[in-house]
Amino acid sequence: MKIKLLTYALLIALSMAGCAEAPKTADVVKPEPSGLKFSYPTAQRNVVTLSPPEREFMLNEMRYYLDMIWVTSDALSRDDFDTVAKVARSRIPAMSSSPLPPNLEAKLPAAYKTYWRATHATVDELASTAERSRSSRETLRQLGVVMQGCNECHAIFQFQAR
Ligand code: HEC
């Protein structure tokens, strides 16, 4: 866990070097969201500045995630692994239903992109786990991995539209 946190701290420090809007390194949050800490003041979350359409694109992706977690929990209560796999696999069509704003990726700090891609991979793994294991425990464990990724990124970043 310590090594993982140190890696995140390093990633954040590196990404901040190239991020004009970022707070000073001393203000960067180094949270431990998997523990019992419930407060992450917004003033301490690193600002990612986006245009209004870019922010909207990102928030739409988040809405897909929220729906996915809802559908997954509901399906798992019935051991309906096909629905879990289907909703997790709908990530790509859901994300590509509106075109990626052209300058968006360049505006995202490197640490943000690392969490972003890691989340895509854990959601893809959720689909495979449901299909392969057909076990609600295994699938729930992977859902926990997905949600830890949501949790960590939310503790560290915020969007501001300008
Ligand atoms: C790479 C970083 C990152 C990851 C990973 C991430 N989010 Fe977010 N999410 C954000 C940011 C930043 C915001 C905007 C917060 C703000 O500015 O107040 C946000 C906002 C949201 C919102 C609000 C959407 C709205 O319409 O206002 C929801 C819901 C959400 N995320 C769900 C999730 C879920 C569920 C996951 C995991 C499956 C997830 N997010 C993963 C960064 C992330």
From the number of C-beta atoms within 10 Å of its C-beta (0-12, 13-18, 19+), residue 156 rates as buried
What is the 40 CA–ligand 1 centroid distance (Å)? 14
Dihedral sign for Cα 42, 48, 54, 59, please. Answer: negative
Q: Residue 141: is its pLDDT beyond 80?
A: yes
**11-45 pLDDT per residue, tens:** 444 344 333 333 333 344 455 555 667 778 888 89
| Index of the ligand 1 atom closest to the CA of residue 149 | 5
Q: Residue 77: is its pLDDT beyond 50?
A: yes
Q: Residue 6: is its pLDDT beyond 60?
A: no
What is the 104 CA–ligand 1 centroid distance (Å)? 16
**37-73 pLDDT per residue, tens:** 777 888 889 999 999 999 999 999 999 999 999 999 9
| Index of the ligand 1 atom closest to the CA of residue 158 | 17
**88-102 pLDDT per residue, tens:** 999 888 888 888 898
pLDDT value of position 43: 84
Q: Which residue has the higher pLDDT, 30 or 133?
A: 133
The answer to whether residues 7 and 114 touch, using CB atoms and an 8 Å cutoff, is: no
From the number of C-beta atoms within 10 Å of its C-beta (0-12, 13-18, 19+), residue 24 rates as exposed
In angstroms, the Cα distances linking 81 to 66, 129, 132 are 18, 9, 9
Residue 157 Cβ < 6 Å to ligand 1 = yes
